[in-house]
Structure 1
Amino acid sequence: MSVAVCLLLYGFAVVVLAPRLLRRLSTEGVAPRIAVTAWLAAMASTVLAWTVTLAIIIIDLVTHQISLFPVRFMDSCLLHLHDAAVGDYGGHMQTGLFALSGFATLALLVLAVRLGSTLLRSRRTTLEHARMARLAGRHHPGLDAVVLEVDHPAAYCVAGKPHTIVVSRGVLAALEHHHLDAVLSHERAHLDGRHHLLLTLTRGLATVLPRVELFTLGASEVARLLEMLADDAAARIHGRATVLQALLTLSTLPTPPATAEAALLPRVRRLSAPENPPRLHTRIAVTAITLTAVFIPVAAIVTAGIGIQVCAV
């Protein structure tokens, strides 16, 4: 039971502390790949910690066992909780605890179902969008993209079967050839990196948990950092100046496409600045946060597993 308490406290600590700390470390996109990993680790470890917490509490209430690894200052509380679970404080208290556990389990199941339905709906929408784009446009073999015959500027990728990169006639008219190649490389980097899967997952969590800043802010920050990763991939092929000029050209259009709107100022600032490797202390800080977010819940779960095995012997 003490493992459950530790995991619960860990989850709340991450929810409170991680958003501002991670945003401060990833604002300028110094190490976007590590920053994305840190955000994903914080979100995944929080979900894991809360899920395992509920599982441990339910198992303890059902089996009437207490972990062999107690936290001293929590002993009295845990013992009282255990006594209430076995009925020492009367049937009403015991029933209340089981009802509370049941409601918590139901809430978790509802969230899981909502997340699953959100992810499935997003996938269906994406596949349908890709299909409609291929039907409405014409495939340009030289660009390996679907061209929409509209003046409204559009340049984006859609995951599907197959994946599709979409550009509009307005973008083709606005960009020079080498700038267009940079934009297409940016979109291919999204598809090659499977960024759509990360975006779908983080936005799904933000949808089902809209009041938890870790997930809402995390979804927007991951999206911004993934744009920077795609910029870097395009810059390695076409050069930072070319990618920057393409981005600036798209941003000056009357209605800039989403690829230019997403976190425009930080992206322009990154591409305009001299290319310097991330500072050592920044890499160490973000890496330490990532490892901590992963290690603590995993270590707690392993400890709980060892405790269960010892109890069973």
Structure 2
Amino acid sequence: MNAVTFLIVYAVALSWLAPAVLAGPGAATRHPRLLVTGWLVAIGTALAAWVGAAAILVVGAVHAVVTRSTPTFCVETLGLTDAVHLPGSVATVVVLGLLAATVAVVLHTARRLVAALLRTRHRNRDHADAVQIVGRRVDDRDVVVIGAEKPTAYCVSGGGSRAIVVTSAALRMLDPTGLDAVLAHERAHLRGGHHHVVGAVTALAAALPRLPLMRAAAQAVPALLEMCADDAAARRHGREPLLKSLFLLSTGRPLPEGALAAAGTAVLDRMLRLAQPASVSRWRFREWSLGLAIAATCLAPAVALTLCAY
């Protein structure tokens, strides 16, 4: 198997098999950060494999046309034996068609990805600017209060503008300890750049909707990041205040698209997770297995390409 064939097969297998491994029951309740790492590594490795295969095809096709070695290029690209022979004119047409198709697919996908990222960035920036205009700042410089009858707290970031938005109803409902836990949750989102991660996986799902890996990541990663922010807030303020705040805020109205909210995503799963006692053993067999699988996902293309070179 040559390098191009391996990269394509590997990317296809990863795109279809990784969701079944990463979306397994129970893992997120223990180590959501590890799961987020797994999703991002799978996405990055799959994209690198696709891009690597496309780059090898483009470079090889251009070289074949320039050096007039198109029959050899066709045979090597398809992984066939040198017993297969193509007329020079036919091989040239095949190579040029392959080159044009590869470039067209890459450019079309890149255009859709960039457009989706820009839409998300502009929408979040406009919303962050708007809430700072209509809301009022409190003692915390990153918190904006807006008048609303529904209790809601969320953060939004985009284009250099960022804000934690709390409605007046949420302020009336939450006690000081609960409010501090909610604010710690939102600050964990901003500090960890979770908006960028959610925006990227959402844009990839929009640009590559037929790949199960991208669709599944767009559904799973936001909830996992909420759990990561829950852990950060619970370490500082305890589980009970955060659990109580989630219960109080879970009746809030639907949030603006692109916002990350304390009670906006996978609320029931997160409440059940917070209600469980903290695990004494931080790492178990499943976590070690997942960690090894993540490492193998990264190393497999490099090892295979090294073997293909010999």
Residue 87 of structure 2 aligns to a residue in which SS?
Answer: coil
Structure 1 letter corresponding to 2:289: A
The unaligned stretches of length 5 or more in structure 1 are: 67-73
Q: TM-score, normalized by length of structure 2? A: 0.86
Residue 78 in structure 1 maps to residue 99 in structure 2: no
- Superposed CA offset, 1:259-313 (max 9, x none): 3131112211110111004442122121112112211223445667xx4xx9xxx
Partners in 2 of 1:76 and 1:133 — Cα distance?
55
Q: CA RMSD in A?
A: 2.6
Q: What are the equivalent positions in structure 2 for 1:1-313 lying under 5 Å apart?
A: 2-24=2-24, 27-64=27-64, 77-79=78-80, 88-142=86-140, 144-160=142-158, 161-251=160-250, 253=251, 255=253, 258-276=261-279, 277-300=281-304, 307=309
Pick closer, same or farther for the CA change 1:248–1:256 going to 2, 3 Å: farther
Partners in 1 of 2:252 and 2:227 — Cα distance?
23
Identity of aligned residues (%): 34
Residue 24 of structure 1 aligns to a residue in which SS?
Answer: coil
The unaligned stretches of length 5 or more in structure 2 are: 70-74, 256-260
Higher relative contact order structure (alpha carbons within 8 Å, sequence separation ≥ 6): 1
Pick closer, same or farther for the CA change 1:82–1:180 going to 2, 3 Å: farther
Q: Displacement, 1:100?
A: 2.9
Match of 1:69 in 2: none
Q: Displacement, 1:97?
A: 3.7
Q: TM-score, normalized by length of structure 1? A: 0.86
Residue 255 of structure 1 aligns to a residue in which SS?
Answer: coil
Partners in 1 of 2:212 and 2:26 — Cα distance?
16
Q: Is the 8 A contact 1:28 1:266 kept in 2?
A: no
Residue 165 of structure 1 aligns to a residue in which SS?
Answer: strand
Structure 1 letter corresponding to 2:13: A
| Structure richer in helix, relative to its length | 1
Pick closer, same or farther for the CA change 1:48–1:254 going to 2, 3 Å: closer
Q: Displacement, 1:80?
A: 5.7
Structure 2 letter corresponding to 1:207: A
